[in-house]
Amino acid sequence: MTPQQAYDDLIVRFKEYSLLGSINGMLGWDERTYLPTKGSAHRAEQMALIARLAHERLSSPVLGERLGDIEGTDIVREADSVPAVNVREIRRMYDRAVKVPVSLVEEMTRTFTRAQNIWQEARSKNDFPSFAPWLEKIVKLKRQEADAVGFRDSPYDALLDEYEPGATAREITAIFAELRKELVPLVAQITSAKKKPAGDILKREYAVDRQHHFGQGAAAAIGFDFQAGRLDTTVHPFCSGMGPGDCRLTTRYHPREFNQGFFGILHEAGHGIYEQGLDPEHFGTPMGSAVSLGIHESQSRLWENQVGRGRPFWEHFYPRLKQMFPGTVDDVSLDDFLFAANDVRRSFIRVEADETTYNMHIILRFELEQDLIRGDLPPKDVAGAWNEKFKASFDQAPPDDAHGCLQDIHWSMGGLGYFPTYTLGNLYAAQFMDQARKDLSGLEDDFRRGEFSRLKGWLNEKIHRPGQRHRPRDLAQKITGQPLDSKALMTYLRSKFGELYGL
């Protein structure tokens, strides 16, 4: 077999693995949207089988043989070529997969699928003790995975690498410490300011069906293609990219909390625009896949906050909001609405947090996750540890576990190592948006006209279409010329909220 034949066979085999992952994604989407409650156990078995089949393909000795036939040949001589990138990243995934027993993969999938249903019920009943035994199972399984994969400094690194390749707990701890050092005094300065937004503006009556229509229109305006996607409701919002032509967004609504549904839609639409921006020609290969969850989050946070909470965006959409909800905000000026949409306050729920306090929510979870994986925190004690850390960071304790350790779905789905990518996404988003403004003059004028195609095109070209050609840090460096740090984010936050709060 020639190197070219080996490469062609490698891609065919890897695409089969990716298709199985896509099928599992579809089952997962259905489980979190429309699956009857009593179908959870059966769905767990379905997803466990698909996960086993996918893992067997990814860890197949034949895949390793094909990689060996290709590596070191002319096909991969140019490091940034399509074959070289695909081989490099498939090798990384293969080397990880062969270390993890298929029985563990199957058991994790089965457990996580069941645990999500248990979590959802526990959250609705504010009943952490009913979820605690499942969290204990999850942590045990994730420790086994970390031990199987291996690590240099911390078992948490083995889990983090799945979501943000190359990142370590040590370096993220340093970045977060620098960010917190600047965030804490800024939040204190803002929350003690005399100028305050009107708290009732976004808590008036906003009919859910109109919220859905308005949010879907905004998502379409910024570039999400609803001919290749859809929008549904769920307990915890998410985006699922199934493949070319099929990307699913979800959000949740509350008739008296406009922010929750609308900005949830913008956030998930940012993820969806990334998925739809990947090169369909390379679907199922690293060149047709997102770089990392940190880069993925940069796209959702960019559209949600940098664009969606900005004045130019609302200069276009506020008149439409008034038309959609007649009588609701007729007495509210654009300035007052915008101020309310950017209200800074210490709140309990991460997904409803403002841009300044949001990262404190992530740092709390990052610290707890490391304690769990190291064995320093028994899962049964999570609720108490959460409340203690929250009180220290936010000067208030959650009223119950639904507003505390049960609010997020991530641990129930086995996503330990996922949370840091949200703040990494905020950091990347600030740097990307700063560069986009330099490259695209008059961008805010575009937004005032309801025109978002130039920004979307820039993101398509710089971030989406290249797939995994560059690792996360290298991609950011290539686009912005700067290493990842907190400077751009803090400059943006100080400028924006300083103006809003008269600081």
Catalytic residues: 268
- In sign, the C-alpha dihedral spanning 19, 287, 72, 94 is negative
Q: Which of 15, 121, 11, 134 is nearest to 67 (CA)?
A: 11
DSSP 8-state class, residue 419? T
Report the alpha-carbon angle 445-449-450, nearest 5.
115
Residues 489 and 179: their CA atoms lie apart, in Å, by 9
Tokens of 276: 């739809």
Residue 250: its H or E element: strand 246-251
Residue 112's CB is within 10 A of a number of other CB atoms, namely 25
CA-nearest of 190, 198, 204, 206 to 336 is 198
Which residues make beta-bridge pairs with 232? 250
- CA–CA separation, 216 vs 180, rounded Å? 35
Write the single-letter amino acid at 152.
R
- Count the neighbouring beta carbons within 10 Å of the beta carbon of residue 45: 14
Report how far residue 346's alpha carbon sits from residue 281's, in angstroms, rounded to the nearest whole number.
45
- List, in sequence order, every residue forming a beta bridge with 251; answer none if it has no partner: 233
- Dihedral angle computed from the Cα positions of residues 345, 351, 355 and 356, in that order, rounded to the nearest 10 degrees: 50
Rounded-to-integer distance, Cα 8 and Cα 29, Å: 31
CA distances (Å), 7 to each of 56, 75, 136, 281, 294, in order? 19, 8, 42, 16, 29
Find tokens 């950091």 and name the residue: 427
Q: Distance between CA 422 and CA 185 in Å, rounded?
A: 21
| C-alpha dist (Å) from residue 464 to 48, 86, 159, 217, 502 | 30, 16, 24, 23, 38
Among residues 252, 230, 224, the alpha carbon closest in space to that of 242 is found at: 230
Closest CA to 346 of 364, 362, 361: 361
Site of tokens 């970390």: 146
